[in-house]
Amino acid sequence: MNQMTNAIDTCFAALRKQGKAALIPFVSAGDPDVKTSLKVCEVLIENGADLIEIGFPYSDPIADGPVIQASYTRALANKLKSTQIWDLAKAIGSLAVYEKRPVPLVAMASYSLILRQGVENFLNHAKEAGFSGFIVPDLPWDESKDLGKAIESRGLKLIQLVTPTTPLERAVNIAKASGGFLYCVSISGITGERKDLPPALIERLKALKCQSTTPLCVGFGISQPDQAGMLKGHCDGIIVGSALVRQFVRFTNEPAEKVLADIGSFCSSMRNALDN
């Protein structure tokens, strides 16, 4: 087993000691441009983000709803390249606020993108850029062994996903195999904001916690502070995507300072809901 220290493990260990849950915002890289993505990440760190999930725009997303799909489309229309995402990650690591409070970066990337660039090439670039882990949504756990070994050999983490339709026994096995944390999809369906979370979600989290020590982070549908508050104590982190990404289209016709301020306020409200 690889014993290299990983920033994701360090982050969750520190949060556990503080009795806190992780706030993990999702940022689709390059929407509307890489420079603005960097400013967004800076604001997120300033307002309480513990990890940041960086989405690699892809033309055929697996489970992304219309908000994230539209964001990916805008980034791809601007001819975004993976080299620019590596540069973005490096730039995040050079931010003054990052140096004061390092925030692990997790890549959300389709396996098709990884294969196209070559697994070794992609992973080497990712590590050099400063990524600590990967979420590969279109690679089932049963088929991820080889990629997992390649990732672990670099001291990085392959984060697995479970959904409400994953049988509990299988979900427990996936949780035990997942690196960094387990991505617990809260709903059946695509990403997107929801007014309510499924009542069965809490019981599902309790069952997983009883049988695995892997941190559990809930994503899909989390868009409001009251939802974050509801999950407090039941999971180790929340992932916020569409509610944040929805703001990015505003950069095209509103002052960037106003949009960034609103993003900061939203992130802060989610942080406070988790803490209080």
Residue 275 is a catalytic residue? no
Q: Which of these is catalytic: 31, 64, 193, 236?
A: 64
Q: Which of these is catalytic: 31, 53, 193, 236?
A: 53
CA-based diameter of the chain, in Å?
A: 51
Residue 31 is a catalytic residue? no
CA–CA distance, 171 with 60 (Å, rounded to integer): 26
* Residues marked as catalytic: 53, 64
